[in-house]
Structure 1
Amino acid sequence: MALRFIAKDPNTNGTQCPTAWVDDEAEEIVIQGWKAGEALLAQCRETGPIPETEAVVRLPIRMVPVLREACDVADRLSVH
């Protein structure tokens, strides 16, 4: 796996914070975020079940530029 670090949440102390990467080989965006609590999970399940192989994570809105950068990097990897 060629995991390319994009950035961490700019408003945290640099450890244990939301982070974004791009996996060049799998062509995936990889996100570390805060675990969703039961209330948020219940709301998400209103749309449909959440498989055991998936998770709901929360990211602060201030990470939008980080996600855009990850999307831009991923977009350059994909074939159009």
Structure 2
Amino acid sequence: MALRLLAIDPNTQGGNCLAVHLDEDTGDILFQGWTEAAPQVLAEAKGNSPLAPHESLVRFPARMRETILEALRDNAET
């Protein structure tokens, strides 16, 4: 498996960064972010789409919205 970095938090100071990766073998997108743990947020999310035991909700700050969208647009055909 080869991961390609598509986007990284523009406010990063180095390690432990919020990021979006592309699995070049499968085309899958991987999100590296903050694991959401707030019970109220998880309950609301589960009301929309129940989380399987192997799934998690990952939070990204609003400042990354355009960065993520741009990265996905630029790599849409990969």
Fold-level similarity (TM above 0.5)? yes
TM-score computed with the length of structure 1 as normaliser: 0.80
Size of the aligned set, in residue pairs, is 77
Structure 2 gap segments, 5+ residues each: none
Q: How does 1:1-80 map to 2 (within 5 A)?
A: 1-37=1-37, 38-77=39-78
Question: RMSD of the alignment, in Å?
Answer: 1.6
Residues 74, 28 of structure 1: CA spacing in aligned structure 2 closer, same or farther, 3 A cutoff? Answer: farther
**Segments of 4+ in structure 1 off by > 6 A?**
none
**Structure-2 separation of matches of 1:65 and 1:44:** 22
Contact 1:3–1:23 under 8 Å retained in 2: yes
Residues 74, 54 of structure 1: CA spacing in aligned structure 2 closer, same or farther, 3 A cutoff? Answer: farther
**Structure-2 separation of matches of 1:73 and 1:53:** 29
**Structure-1 separation of matches of 2:58 and 2:3:** 19
Deviations 1:11-69 (A, max 9, x none): 13222221111111111111101011222111101113200121100001111233123
Determine what percentage of the aligned residue pairs are the same residue: 35
